[in-house]
Amino acid sequence: MNFESTQLTKENYLDLYQAILKPRLIENKMLVLLRQGKISKWFSGIGQEAIAVGVTKALQNDEYILPMHRNLGVFTTREIPLYRLFSQWQGKANGFTKGRDRSFHFGTQEFKIVGMISHLGPQLGVADGIALAHKLRKENKVTAVFTGEGGTSEGDFHEALNIASVWQLPVLFCVENNGYGLSTPVSEQFNCEHIADKGIGYGMEAHIIDGNNIVEVFEKVSALAEDVRKNPRPILLEFKTFRRRGHEEASGTKYVPEDLMQYWKEKDPVTNFEAFLEEKQILSPKEKAKFSKNIIEEIKENLQLAFDEAPIEAQLDRELKDVYQVFDEEVVQPNSETKELRFVDAISEGLRQSMQKHNNLVIMGQDVAEYGGVFKITEGFVEEFGKERLRNTPICESAVISAAMGLSINQTKSVVELQFGDFVTSGFNPIVNYLAKVHYRWNQNADVVLRMPCGAGVGAGPFHSQTNEAWFTKTPGLKVVYPAFPSDAKGLLASAINDPNPVLFFEHKALYRSIREEVPTDYYTLPIGKAKLLKSGTQISIITYGAGVHWALEFAEQHPEISADVLDLRSLCPLDEEAIFESVRKTGKVVLLQEDTLFGGIMSDISALICENCFEHLDAPIKRVGSLPTPVPFAAALEKQFLAKNQLEKAIMNLMAY
Ligand SMILES: Cc1ncc(C[n+]2csc(CCOP(=O)(O)OP(=O)(O)O)c2C)c(N)n1
């Protein structure tokens, strides 16, 4: 291994030496504590330290870095006080997640570190978003993101590199090729010689770096980072290294051939570098002893602090409160001038006015720029806001939603248009695992609105007709808004965009061009979480949302003999429980109507809530009405039969007769 350098001074060398020694000594101590049962899981990075340390040293302290589970060296090189790391690993309050997440699963804006989620891949797209925000603000900053070679098999890797290349984002994609992903050797993980070879497929510069040589890592990454700051572009870096311990400590390394292990042991990044420094008399025996003693002291003192810290206490209020970011909601009353708009136009107008209001708001989606989106909601936006803020994306929902997360981390709001709400499945992972959980985990908000054109009744078949809100209402951390009228859609969209939390905004396609209404012309907001009583009656409550609202109103019009409350929920999460209970207490009979298939829909939960809170006010069993338990069929007769509307009249009449 060649550690010679024409650039590095003695101080530089010793600085690198101390930086690489620290994670090694911490890990040595952790392995002892693990054996003593004083810490739980441990993912060892022994033998890979040069990469984390070298890359972090090459970046400026205000540049974001997104490490993985073996990158202790990132955290130590950013000089996080060790007691905070130790507390984090023990689930204590001085850590970074209030005891809510373990090990390296946290981020910290203070140190510009954004830790992984277990699913590995999403953070590659998050790095894209962070870098995009820098690029939009014309800041010359690099973002570095890590993954193992196993993680490169995930679709997220492909999507994130593709987006970064198409958008020329200043991201260093750092792949630590350490030979194994859990027990899977590289030969069973991918079928090309080097991961760096994939760069060409993305139109991306790529380099192979000896991941066990801290001088090579530091110098090459420093030079590339400097160049990327001047000339923003993504670069793929493959660091060749080896995982010398088990995937996590308990799992061992039985599957690794002895000679391979021996080969890499001899290439140890710490001892080889140390030997070089000693041989060149850069590191004296006295200094060596001093450095090691200082670090060991620091570890000891900080460990004591962490052990002395009381275990975290469960406080119900605090846990519930931290799922969403609390914020001062801006209330803008509607002006008196109105104009008749279709549902689709009201959404477009609301979006346009929010773009005018927030100059840090970016819209991303397939064909949203010149083409105006498939429903033409962003038509004409490019002319007004430019292509930087109206971003056509490749077809990669997962990385785009992850990028929206990254934008939020780096102070930029975004609206992501799903071309059809059905395609959210391809971006499901970052929504339910990243955006939904990030505030609870480490106090980082996800200021993202996902626009979801949804619903049936348009003859579009199983993959362009679903209304899949229930997949999200059951996930804490998300808000779900579902308007039924143009004026509600406009005001609620403005509020969703103001809200710093992740909001799924459902827009029923069948309403786009069929529902019109007088809509206030200026920008205004409507509070999320408030239902609206559209019609007041005394005999029965019809509680619904989305297209169901129009079915209920149609029914009520056709049956003036029935005195019905029609309640439009407008928002499913938060849910206006009080408005529901009030209506049920008044009428004593309730039909819960949803377009979604019946089982497991939001109305099942609303039914349970009514049972728990209004049982003594009920004069009849609660009746849920939902669509058939089949995929949404294409042919008109089949779709008509499928939809909940088909069962509504009978259900109400039965209940009236009960
Ligand atoms: C989506 C997903 N699938 C599987 C796992 C389980 N898992 C965690 S780490 C890991 C191996 C990762 O290998 P690699 O990316 O090479 O990183 P390394 O552990 O070698 O550093 C696996 C299979 C996971 N966390 N997430």
13: tokens are 């060398």
Stretch 211-239: mean pLDDT, rounded?
98
Nearest to 497 by CA among 486, 481, 510, 512: 481
User: What distance in angstroms lies between residue 562's CA and the mean position of ligand 1's atoms?
Assistant: 59
Please say if 508 is a catalytic residue: no
Query: Residue 122, preceding bond cis, omega within 30 degrees?
Result: no
Residue nearest to atom 12 of ligand 1 (CA): 181
Q: Which atom of ligand 1 is nearest to the CA of 68?
A: 21
Residue 73 Ramachandran class (φ > 0 left, ψ -120 to 50 alpha, else beta): alpha
Strand 390-392 versus strand 413-417 pairing type? unpaired
Out of 28-37, 222-231, 416-425, least confident range = 28-37
246 pocket-lining for ligand 1 (C-beta < 6 Å) = no
Q: What is the pLDDT of residue 41?
A: 82
According to DSSP, the residues that pair with 173 across neighbouring strands are 145, 236
Q: In whole angstroms, what is the distance from residue 461 CA to residue 457 CA?
A: 9
Which pairing describes strands 571-573 and 479-481: parallel, antiparallel, or unpaired? antiparallel
Confidence bin at 250 (pLDDT 50/70/90)? confident
pLDDT digits (tens, 9 = 90+) for 107-137: 999 999 999 999 999 999 999 999 999 999 9
pLDDT for position 516: 98
- Mean pLDDT across the chain: 98
Neighbours of 471 (CB within 10 A): 18
Confidence at residue 354, expressed as pLDDT on a 0 to 100 scale = 98
Count of C-beta atoms within a 10 Å radius of residue 574? 14
Note the pLDDT of residue 40: 75
**Does ligand 1 lie within 6 Å of residue 125's CB atom?**
no
What is the whole-number distance in angstroms between the Cα of residue 148 and the centre of ligand 1?
8
- Ligand 1 nearest atom to the CA of residue 178, by list position: 20
Q: What is the pLDDT of residues 536-575, one digit of tens each?
A: 999 999 999 999 999 999 999 999 999 999 999 999 999 9
Distance from the alpha carbon of residue 179 to the mean position of ligand 1, in angstroms: 12
| CA separation for the pair 539, 516 (Å, rounded) | 29
Of 104, 120, 149, 428, best ligand 1 pocket probe by most atoms within 8 Å of the beta carbon: 120
Distance 43 CA to ligand 1 centre (A): 11
SS3 of the chain: helix, strand, coil, percent, to 5: 45, 15, 40
Q: With b meaning 16 or more CB within 10 Å and e meaning fewer, what string describes 577-599?
A: eebbebbbeebbbbbbbbbbbbe
Cα-based distances in Å from 459 to 455, 463, 483, 550, 636:
10, 11, 21, 18, 6
* 46, 182, 240, 429, best to mutate for ligand 1 pocket (most atoms within 8 Å of CB): 182
How much distance in Å is there from the Cα of 182 to the middle of ligand 1? 6
Residue 426 buriedness (CB in 10 A; 0-12 / 13-18 / 19+): middle
Ligand 1 neighbour 119 (Cβ under 6 A): yes
Q: Determine whether the shortest distance from the Cβ of 244 to ligand 1 is under 6 A.
A: no
In whole angstroms, what separates CA 16 from the centre of its chain? 34
Strand ranges across the sheet with 113-114:
107-108, 113-114, 65-66, 143-148, 171-177, 235-240, 205-210
Cβ-proximal residues to 191 (8 Å cutoff; 6+ apart), any chain: none
Question: Looking at ligand 1, which atom is closest to the CA of residue 189?
Answer: 16
The response to whether residue 148 sits with its C-beta less than 6 Å from ligand 1 reads: yes
Please check whether residue 625 is in contact with residue 651, taking contact to mean a CB–CB distance below 8 angstroms: yes
Nearest CA to ligand 1 atom 3: 119
- 211 pocket-lining for ligand 1 (C-beta < 6 Å): no
Measured distance CA(587)–CA(184) in Å, rounded: 62
Q: What is the mean pLDDT of residues 496-511?
A: 98
Q: Is the pLDDT of residue 27 over 80?
A: yes
Contact between 490 and 337 under an 8 Å Cβ cutoff? The reply is: no
Residue 301 has a pLDDT of 98
The answer, yes or no, to whether any atom of ligand 1 lies below 6 A from the CB of 47, is no
Ligand 1 atom at shortest distance from the alpha carbon of 180? 20
Closest residue CA from atom 5 of ligand 1: 119
- pLDDT tens-place string over residues 523-537: 999 999 999 999 999
Q: Does residue 245's CB lie within 6 angstroms of at least one atom of ligand 1? A: no
Specify the pLDDT at position 37: 85
- Give the atom of ligand 1 at the shortest distance from the alpha carbon of 181: 13
- How confident is the model at residue 38, as a pLDDT? 85
150 lines ligand 1 (CB under 6 A): yes
What pLDDT was estimated at residue 300? 98
* Atom of ligand 1 minimally distant from the CA of 120: 26
* Nearest Cα residue to 431 out of 346, 383, 527, 502: 502
CA angle 384, 385, 386 (to 5 degrees): 105
Q: Point out the ligand 1 atom lying closest to the alpha carbon of residue 45.
A: 21
The residue contributing the CA closest to ligand 1 atom 2 is 119
What DSSP element (H or E) covers 500?
none
| pLDDT tens per residue, range 73-115 | 999 999 999 999 999 999 999 999 999 999 999 999 999 999 9
Number of the ligand 1 atom closest to the C-alpha atom of 119: 26
Q: Which position among 105, 439, 464, 550 bears the catalytic label?
A: 464
How distant is the alpha carbon of residue 523 from its chain centre? 29
d(CA 152, ligand 1 centre) in Å: 10
Q: Is the CB of 178 under 6 A from ligand 1?
A: yes
Q: Alpha-carbon distance 626 to 648, whole Å? A: 9
Decide: 149 in ligand 1 pocket, CB within 6 A.
Answer: yes
Task: Report pTM.
Answer: 0.98
| Cβ(606)–Cβ(580) below 8 Å | yes
State mean pLDDT over 575-604. Answer: 98
Distance of CA 185 from the midpoint of ligand 1 (Å) = 12
Instruction: Provide the strand spans (E) within 550-599.
Output: 564-568, 571-573, 590-597
Evaluate the CA torsion angle 89, 90, 96, 98 in order and state its sign.
positive
| Distance (Å) from CA 154 to ligand 1 centroid | 10
298 C-alpha vs ligand 1 centroid, how far in Å?
Answer: 31
- CA–centroid distance, 120 to ligand 1, in Å, is 7
User: Is the distance from the beta carbon of residue 403 to the nearest atom of ligand 1 less than 6 Å?
Assistant: no
Residue located nearest, by CA, to atom 26 of ligand 1 = 119
- What is the residue with the minimal CA distance to atom 8 of ligand 1? 118
For the CA of 429, the nearest atom of ligand 1: 1
Q: Would you say 400 and 393 are in contact if contact means Cβ atoms under 8 Å apart?
A: yes
Ligand 1 pocket: which of 241, 247, 248, 432 to mutate (most atoms <8 Å of CB)?
A: 247
Fill in the amino acid letter for 25. L
Could you read off the pLDDT of 403-436 as tens digits, one per residue? 999 999 999 999 999 999 999 999 999 999 999 9
pLDDT band (50, 70, 90) for residue 39 = confident
Is the beta carbon of 120 within 6 A of some atom in ligand 1?
Answer: yes
At 130, is the secondary structure helix, strand, or coil? helix
The pLDDT tens digits of the residues spanning 628-654 come to 999 999 999 999 999 999 999 999 999
Atom of ligand 1 minimally distant from the CA of 151: 15
State the distance from the centre of ligand 1 to the C-alpha of 178, rounded, in angstroms. 12
Query: From ligand 1's centre to the CA of 175, what distance in Å?
Result: 13
- Rounded Cα distance between 373 and 388, Å, is 16
Task: Kindly report the number of other CB atoms within 10 A of residue 9's CB atom.
Answer: 10
Q: What would the pLDDT profile of 315-350 be if each residue is shown by its tens digit? A: 999 999 999 999 999 999 999 999 999 999 999 999
